[in-house]
Amino acid sequence: MSIVDNPYESLTGARSGCSAALAGPNVGHVFRSPLRGPWLTSVFGVVLLACLPIVIITGLLDYVAYGQGQGIPGDVGFLRLPFFDWPAGPSWLFRLTQGLHVGLGLVLVPVVLAKLWSVIPKLFAWPPVRSLAHALERVSLLLLVGSILFEIVTGLLNIQYDYVFGFSFYTAHYLGAWVFIASFAAHVALKLPTMIRSLRSRSLRKELATPLARTEPEPPDETGLVAENPAPPTMSRRSALGVVGGGVLLVGVLTAGQAIGGPLRSAALLLPRGRAPEGDFPINRTAAAARISTADTGAAWRLALGGVSLSRAELLALPQHTARLPIACVEGWSTVQTWTGVRLRDLAALAGIAEPDSAFVASIEQGPFARARLNRGQVRHPDALLALRVNGADLSLDHGFPARVIVPALPGVHCTKWVRSIDFRSV
């Protein structure tokens, strides 16, 4: 990405002629990379144009997946997809959408950085404002660059559980996304013709066959990206693309394991979800952090189902169902385990609700994610369980002992642990 400028060229001599002196700081001689140009920028641009919509859509789907009235921030006006009941199948649905959102978002970081490198001379273009149109477009570009960096930074901090920013991640990331959507759409609308024209100006196949010795700057044009006084190249254009592609690959290898799991998990060397406690699968929020004590979950624990209440032994005496289901979290990681417990619809029948339409699940835990509403499809799904055991053993306290909810394709945060009560509602 930093295929940078010839250092032997001093900044002096940049202002040749009186018009340049009058025109203010001339940056044409500072940015001297011979690789910068509309074609290279457009290659990065077309990759982002193809991939970022997927990141946007999967992010917006995540808001829907949380369920109506349960997304954060609560009130977003018309800044959301039309609500629909998030389906309870296929079981890997949320694993896929959220894995794509986070995974694709991460592997695009090198491309975003390369794109910003390729256009940085425009930041210092002189005069800073040529017309009202130029001024408005520059404001929209400030929003574009600001919002994509803001989304990357808040997303990266969130998946690493670093809340140094001190505001609500959900609110900031969601509204920041809409600023990005607005400015990204405008940028595409204004620049698409330039991008297509630039991509046609050179053949990708030829570029990939061009070694350093034959690497020439792009011809000067009105985009202002081509260096006025290019330095000799130190890297071919194909190598520059290779470096960025290598960055994408590197981040991909360091990320994919957190969503794919199994032996690949440990390849996510630098991410929290590249690890799991010894002999266990990853824990999402420990019992200690949720202030769950053994007194709450001991022999005295009972599950309240409206008028009915059941001990753990009584639950274990009910028909048990086993399902292999993923837990997938908003941070993009997931893990597939074998859960055993009582079907939610059987519990609904016990509570006297033969045709449940929804269920409100409450945890012993206090706090923002201590309750969740399940929709009709989720409650009625044959694999939707109040799990008592996982992989043939009792749940551990950190995994939600005495009982936890597990529902296909339900966001992990709504797979409530340490369940205290389930309130089934009929239509």
Partner 1 sequence: MRRLYGAGLGHLLVTLACLALAAYAGSFLLGEPAVLTMLIWFAGAVVAHDLVLYPLYTLADRALSRLPVPVRNHIRIPALGAGLTLLMFLPGIIRQGEDTHLAATSLDQQPYLGRWLWLMLAMFVASGLIYAIRLSAVKLGRPTKSRSSRT
Neighbours of 75 (CB within 10 A): 6
In 34-129, which ranges are continuous DSSP H helix? 38-65, 93-107, 109-123
> What's the closest the beta carbon of residue 392 comes to partner 1, in angstroms?
21
DSSP assignment of 301-361 equals: --EEETTEEE-HHHHHHSPPEEEEEEEE-TTS-EEEEEEEEEEHHHHHHHTT-SSEEEEEE
Residues from 312 through 371 that contact partner 1 (CB under 8 A): none
Residue 113 is a binding residue for partner 1 (CB under 8 A): yes
Residues from 124 through 163 that contact partner 1 (CB under 8 A): 130-134, 136-137, 139-140, 142-143, 145-147, 149-150, 152-154, 156-157, 160-163
> What's the closest the beta carbon of residue 161 comes to partner 1, in angstroms?
4
Name the CA radius of gyration of the chain, rounded.
27
> What's the closest the beta carbon of residue 409 comes to partner 1, in angstroms?
22
Residue 55 is a binding residue for partner 1 (CB under 8 A): no
Residues from 236 through 255 that contact partner 1 (CB under 8 A): 236, 239, 243, 246-247, 250-251, 254
Q: Which long-range contacts (CB under 8 A, 24 or more apart) does 83-87 make?
A: 85/375, 85/376, 85/377, 86/375, 86/377, 86/378, 86/409, 86/410, 87/377, 87/409
Of 218 and 398, the one with the shorter C-beta distance to partner 1 is 398
Residues from 372 through 391 that contact partner 1 (CB under 8 A): none
> What's the closest the beta carbon of residue 141 comes to partner 1, in angstroms?
10
- Asked if residue 73 lies in contact with residue 170, where contact means CB atoms within 8 angstroms, the answer is yes
Question: 209's torsion region: left (phi>0), alpha (psi -120 to 50) or beta?
Answer: alpha
Q: Specify the 3-state DSSP secondary structure of 159.
A: helix
Of 234 and 320, the one with the shorter C-beta distance to partner 1 is 234
> What's the closest the beta carbon of residue 131 comes to partner 1, in angstroms?
3
Neighbours of 183 (CB within 10 A): 20
Segment near partner 1 (CB under 8 A), from 82-90, 218-226, 229-237, 347-355? Answer: 229-237
Residues from 6 through 35 that contact partner 1 (CB under 8 A): 6-8
Q: Applying CB under 8 A, what is the total number of residues that bind partner 1?
A: 91
One-letter amino acid of 410: L
Q: Rounded to an integer, what distance in angstroms lies between the CA atom of residue 219 and that of residue 38?
A: 9
Of 221 and 423, the one with the shorter C-beta distance to partner 1 is 221
DSSP label at residue 427? -
> What's the closest the beta carbon of residue 181 comes to partner 1, in angstroms?
7
Of 20 and 186, the one with the shorter C-beta distance to partner 1 is 186
Of 24 and 73, the one with the shorter C-beta distance to partner 1 is 73
Q: Which residue has the tokens 């340049």?
A: 20
> What's the closest the beta carbon of residue 414 comes to partner 1, in angstroms?
16
Segment near partner 1 (CB under 8 A), from 62-70, 86-94, 281-289, 350-358? Answer: 281-289
Angle between helices 169-201 and 38-65 (to 10 degrees): 150
Residues from 254 through 273 that contact partner 1 (CB under 8 A): 254, 269-273
Of 146 and 377, the one with the shorter C-beta distance to partner 1 is 146
> What's the closest the beta carbon of residue 28 comes to partner 1, in angstroms?
16
Residue 229 is a binding residue for partner 1 (CB under 8 A): no
Applying CB under 8 A, among 83, 84, 126, 165 the residue interacting with partner 1 is: 165
Q: Specify the 3-state DSSP secondary structure of 365.
A: coil
Residues from 176 through 215 that contact partner 1 (CB under 8 A): 176, 178-179, 181-183, 185-186, 189-190, 211-213
Q: Which two tokens stand for residue 288?
A: 């200690």
3-state class percentages of the chain: helix first, strand second, coil last, to nearest 5: 45, 15, 40
